[in-house]
């Protein structure tokens, strides 16, 4: 089977699409070759805007359409900003009239290229509503709308020959100038993107070429007949886009957020760049060179649009300030990527519940929760009431489930902050019920871990809990204690737990009790088990792009590490043969040795045996062994052979440096622990650098 090299294909194609848009508005070959210019601007260029709609639909569907409202607001803000940018142009041109202004704002766009924003603002809510019918029903409805729009666009010459159709379209044109708006154009491409249809590379490539040829013939034929009122819509266009998007999905891996943002600004700013180039050309009397030479005109517009757009979005990556001694770097785009990858592994009805206990495994609970909430996550899990209240105070909405014990005396706080509490046994349930506060709870079942939960076989006790006053049992869950292991006896034990869990749920249903939302898969349940039709899957360590250890898993997913751990060199010195370094004289130089001291120690969360188990750090992309005894605040390094080591240099304890990588799993195993412990004990005196793009 033909395979494509994996890269952020969707984001990179955005740049190509933005060039297509500029080509439409500049006609790069108009002064050289009319037929070629027609094909570039009226055929190839027509792929651009549908592609933008499809990517929007694709990412909305990846998030289960949950962040549609948030995305809609972002488009609205961009539309307002864009309208303000072009307000002087509209005032100069006298484009504002009472009726036409309203039409422009709500349908046509406040400048000629800004029609995209009203279209997407209308298309998103319409597509969300259609998606509730299921794609099998939604796509035909959107296709019918597209065909209606087609009659007022490229096929206008045919439909206008029928008086009834002419009257129908003239009524539409009273509201908007063209039918490429959000009612007829946007829903189909948003839903095609949401479909995420993907076939083999060979099939997609062949389909794209055939459909592009068909669209070329269709466009030429229609223009020969003089049919188009406009030419944004063709019969072959949706088929062409479907095959192209399939091809991009086959190659797509990862994302380039900055490129994505840059293309938005290229789209917004390029007409302004066109006006600026024309003004400069007129002022210097260079129209024949800068404007009438269509190819140079096109390249100048591209160059200026790209330059201004990348100047807007390209800021230096957050860098540690000189006073920082040791810090964590948290990559939020990697976090959101992991959430999408994990969600894609779940059953369609199952939602990801992000586990944020222990300060999000040392990553920073509140910023992590905010980033996930923006990405569409609506359910979170913590260990205790203090963590849950901190999330609520930070504005985190949705379900927040406390997985651990909360005393019944704090039931009032649970109710006040609308927090969901786990019932750890029947007596806990009785005490909470007696507090007279209406609280939401999930019932924990003990299926064999014997840690928390009502025994799964205690059907009568479980049934009684569901009838207790003041408790709204919204869900039921268990924890699998050996699911990370591939050993045969552990696999058997895990299946025994799952069987016991579902047996209890079936008993409840048989007795007429609705169990509520069901969940039992945590990170390794997602990685090692098939997708179950439950309502939640609790992702903890995997959400942060790492595994607990280096043991193999059933599904090796494209997870990106979120956390890097770094520190600085404070001093560099030379040891002569026979000299000692560190507590207890544990290190003795056998040869001339260059010693560097790094500003991190066990008070920052590293295990004290870190230096005794063969761990090393990266410095200038090279390996530097940790030597001697790890101190409370310092670490000794052998940097012999590494050139130009000076105070202030950065070392990497976990993460990537100059193409080399130290995995958290490796560090944890050398220290005799797991990554969960390694990261969750990182000290709060470590600074945090947030990477958001």
Query: What are the DSSP calls for 33-57, one per residue?
Result: -HHHHHHHHHTGGGGHHHHHHHHHH
Question: Is 301 within 8 Å of 340 (Cβ atoms)?
Answer: no
- The answer to whether residue 449 is domain-embedded is yes
Instruction: Please state, in angstroms and rounded to a whole number, the distance separating the CA atoms of residues 677 and 523.
Output: 15
Give the model's pLDDT for residue 89.
87
Tell me the CATH number at 409: 3.20.20.10
DSSP 8-state assignment for residue 183: T
Task: Note whether 401 and 437 are same-domain residues.
Answer: yes
DSSP string, 548-576: SSS---SS-------EEEEEEEEEEEEE-
- The answer to whether residue 337 is domain-embedded is no
Q: What is the pLDDT of residues 340-367, one digit of tens each?
A: 999 999 999 999 999 999 999 999 999 9
CA contacts within 13 A on the Cβ side of 2 = 12
Please report, rounded to a whole number, the percentage of residues in the chain having pLDDT higher than 90: 80
Give the model's pLDDT for residue 271.
95
pLDDT > 70? residue 693 = no
Q: What is the pLDDT of residues 7-34, one digit of tens each?
A: 778 889 999 999 999 999 999 999 999 9
Task: Note whether 232 and 269 are same-domain residues.
Answer: no
Pairing status of strand 351-355 against strand 580-581 = unpaired
Task: Note whether 11 and 126 are same-domain residues.
Answer: no
DSSP 8-state assignment for residue 627: E
Task: Note whether 71 and 202 are same-domain residues.
Answer: yes
- pLDDT, mean of residues 403-432: 96
Pairing status of strand 622-627 against strand 563-575 = unpaired
DSSP string, 478-547: ---SSTT---HHHHHHHHHHHHHHHHHHHHHHHTT----EEE---HHHHHHSPPPS-SEEEE-GGGGT--
Task: Note whether 206 and 246 are same-domain residues.
Answer: yes
The residues that are catalytic are 357, 583
Question: Is 403 within 8 Å of 449 (Cβ atoms)?
Answer: no
- The answer to whether residue 142 is domain-embedded is yes
| Assigned token pair, 342 | 């994990």
- pLDDT, mean of residues 481-502: 95
Task: Note whether 6 and 93 are same-domain residues.
Answer: no
Give the model's pLDDT for residue 6.
59
Instruction: Please state, in angstroms and rounded to a whole number, the distance separating the CA atoms of residues 22 and 70.
Output: 28
Give the model's pLDDT for residue 66.
67
Give the model's pLDDT for residue 197.
83
Backbone angles phi, psi at 603, to 5 degrees: -70, -15
Q: What is the pLDDT of residues 252-304, one digit of tens each?
A: 766 677 888 899 999 999 999 999 999 999 999 999 999 999 999 999 999 99
pLDDT > 70? residue 221 = yes
Give the model's pLDDT for residue 322.
43
Give the model's pLDDT for residue 4.
53
Instruction: Please state, in angstroms and rounded to a whole number, the distance separating the CA atoms of residues 121 and 107.
Output: 10
- pLDDT, mean of residues 155-170: 92
Reported as a pLDDT band with limits 50, 70 and 90, residue 1 is very low
Last residue of a domain, one of 204, 231, 255: 255
Reported as a pLDDT band with limits 50, 70 and 90, residue 166 is very high
Query: pLDDT higher for 70 or 51?
Result: 51
Instruction: Please state, in angstroms and rounded to a whole number, the distance separating the CA atoms of residues 309 and 139.
Output: 35
pLDDT > 50? residue 320 = no
Selection from 498, 566, 559 nearest residue 318 by Cα: 566
77-110 burial, b if ≥16 CB within 10 A, otherwise e? Answer: ebbeebbebbeeeeeeeebeeeeeeebbeebbbb
Reported as a pLDDT band with limits 50, 70 and 90, residue 450 is very high
CA contacts within 13 A on the Cβ side of 320 = 22
- The answer to whether residue 332 is domain-embedded is no
SS3 annotation, 189-251: HHHHHHHCCCCCHHHHHHHHHHHHHHHHHHHHHHHHHCCCCCCCCCCHHHHHHHHHHHHHHHH
Average pLDDT over all residues of the chain: 92
Reported as a pLDDT band with limits 50, 70 and 90, residue 548 is very high
Task: Note whether 486 and 353 are same-domain residues.
Answer: yes
- The answer to whether residue 549 is domain-embedded is no
Cross-strand bridge partners of residue 595: 573, 638
Give the model's pLDDT for residue 65.
73
Distance of CA 504 to the CA centre of its chain: 36
Query: Three-class SS of residue 87?
Result: helix
Give the model's pLDDT for residue 149.
95
Question: Is 654 within 8 Å of 644 (Cβ atoms)?
Answer: no
- pLDDT, mean of residues 190-212: 91
How many other C-beta atoms lie within 10 A of the C-beta of residue 224? 8
Task: Note whether 371 and 385 are same-domain residues.
Answer: yes
pLDDT > 60? residue 99 = no
Give the model's pLDDT for residue 318.
47
Q: With a threshold of 0.85, does the pTM exceed it?
A: no
DSSP 8-state assignment for residue 106: I
Domain count, the chain: 4
pLDDT > 50? residue 317 = no
pLDDT > 90? residue 625 = yes
Number of H helices, E strands in the chain: 27, 20
How many other C-beta atoms lie within 10 A of the C-beta of residue 322? 7
- The answer to whether residue 557 is domain-embedded is no
Task: Note whether 143 and 245 are same-domain residues.
Answer: yes
Crossing angle of helices 332-344 and 48-62, in 10° steps, is 80
Give the model's pLDDT for residue 64.
65
Q: Which domain holds residue 30?
A: 1-42+256-315
Query: pLDDT higher for 95 or 688?
Result: 688
Tell me the CATH number at 588: 2.40.37.10
- The answer to whether residue 326 is domain-embedded is no
Instruction: Please state, in angstroms and rounded to a whole number, the distance separating the CA atoms of residues 152 and 231.
Output: 10
Task: Note whether 88 and 169 are same-domain residues.
Answer: yes
Give the model's pLDDT for residue 513.
96
DSSP 8-state assignment for residue 603: G
- Look at the alpha carbons of 160, 164, 170, 175 in this order and tell me if their dihedral is positive or negative: negative
Give the model's pLDDT for residue 98.
52
Give the model's pLDDT for residue 253.
65
Please report, rounded to a whole number, the percentage of residues in the chain having pLDDT higher than 70: 96
- The answer to whether residue 327 is domain-embedded is no
Last residue of a domain, one of 544, 578, 605: 544
Last residue of a domain, one of 476, 509, 544: 544
Task: Note whether 397 and 297 are same-domain residues.
Answer: no
Task: Note whether 309 and 400 are same-domain residues.
Answer: no
């Amino acid at each position: 089977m033909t395979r494509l090299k994996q890269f952020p294909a969707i984001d990179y194609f955005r740049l190509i699409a933005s060039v297509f848009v500029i080509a439409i508005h500049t006609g790069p070959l108009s002064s050289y070759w009319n037929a070629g210019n027609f094909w570039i601007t009226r055929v190839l260029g027509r792929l651009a805007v549908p592609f933008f709609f499809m990517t929007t639909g694709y990412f909305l569907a990846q998030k289960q359409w949950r962040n549609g409202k948030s995305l809609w607001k972002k488009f609205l803000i961009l539309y307002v900003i864009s309208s303000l940018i072009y307000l002087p142009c509209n005032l100069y041109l006298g484009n504002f009239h009472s009726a036409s202004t309203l039409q422009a704002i709500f349908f046509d766009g406040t400048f000629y290229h800004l029609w995209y924003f009203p279209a997407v603002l209308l298309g998103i809510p319409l597509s969300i509503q259609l998606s509730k019918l299921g794609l099998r029903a939604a796509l035909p409805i959107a296709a019918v709308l597209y065909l209606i729009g087609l009659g007022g666009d490229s096929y206008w010459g045919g439909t206008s020959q029928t008086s009834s159709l002419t009257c129908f379209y003239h009524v539409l044109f009273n509201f908007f100038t063209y039918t490429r708006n959000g009612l007829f154009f946007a829903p189909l491409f948003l839903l095609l993107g949401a479909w995420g249809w993907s076939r083999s590379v060979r099939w997609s490539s062949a389909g794209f070429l055939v459909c592009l040829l068909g669209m070329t013939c269709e466009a030429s034929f229609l223009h020969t007949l003089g049919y188009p009122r406009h030419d944004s819509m063709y019969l072959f266009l949706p088929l062409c886009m479907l095959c192209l998007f399939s091809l991009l999905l086959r190659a797509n891996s990862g994302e380039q957020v900055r490129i994505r943002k840059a293309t938005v600004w290229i789209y917004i700013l390029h007409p302004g760049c066109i006006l600026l180039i024309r003004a400069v050309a007129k002022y210097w009397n260079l129209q024949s060179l800068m404007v009438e030479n269509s190819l140079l005109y096109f390249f100048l517009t591209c160059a200026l649009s790209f330059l201004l757009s990348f100047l807007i979005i390209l800021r230096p990556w957050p860098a540690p300030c000189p006073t920082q001694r040791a810090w964590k770097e948290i990559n939020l785009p990697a976090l959101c990527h992991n959430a999408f990858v994990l969600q894609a592994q779940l059953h369609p009805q199952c939602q990801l519940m992000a586990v944020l206990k222990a300060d999000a495994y040392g990553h920073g609970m509140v910023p992590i929760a905010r980033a996930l909430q923006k990405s569409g996550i609506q359910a979170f899990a913590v260990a205790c009431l203090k963590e849950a209240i901190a999330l609520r105070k930070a504005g985190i909405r949705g379900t927040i489930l406390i997985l651990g014990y909360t005393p019944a005396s704090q039931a009032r706080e649970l109710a006040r902050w609308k927090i969901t509490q786990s019932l750890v046994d029947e007596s806990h349930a009785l005490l909470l019920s007696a507090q007279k506060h209406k609280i939401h709870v999930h019932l924990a079942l003990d299926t064999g871990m014997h840690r928390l939960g009502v025994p799964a076989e205690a059907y009568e006790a479980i049934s009684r809990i569901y009838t207790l006053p003041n408790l709204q049992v919204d869900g039921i869950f268990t924890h699998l204690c050996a699911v990370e292991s591939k050993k045969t006896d552990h696999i058997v034990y895990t299946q025994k737990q799952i069987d016991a869990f579902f047996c209890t749920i079936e008993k409840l249903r048989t007795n007429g009790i609705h169990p509520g939302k069901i969940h039992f898969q945590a990170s390794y349940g997602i990685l090692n088990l098939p997708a179950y039709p439950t309502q939640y899957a609790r992702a903890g360590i995997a959400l942060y792009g790492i595994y607990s250890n280096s043991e193999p898993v059933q599904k090796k997913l494209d997870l990106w590490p979120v956390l890097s751990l770094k520190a600085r060199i404070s001093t560099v010195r030379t040891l002569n043969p026979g000299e000692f370094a560190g507590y207890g004289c544990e290190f003795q130089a056998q040869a001339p040795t260059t010693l560097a001291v790094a500003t991190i120690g066990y008070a920052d969360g590293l295990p004290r045996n870190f230096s005794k188990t063969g761990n090393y750090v990266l410095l200038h992309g090279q390996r530097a062994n940790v030597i001697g005894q790890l101190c409370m605040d310092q670490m000794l390094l052998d940097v012999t052979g590494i050139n130009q080591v000076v105070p202030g240099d950065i070392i990497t304890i976990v993460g990537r440096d100059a193409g080399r990588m130290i995995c958290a799993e490796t560090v944890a195993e050398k220290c005799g622990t797991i990554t969960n412990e390694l990261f969750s004990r990182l000290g709060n005196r470590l600074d945090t650098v947030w990477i958001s793009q």
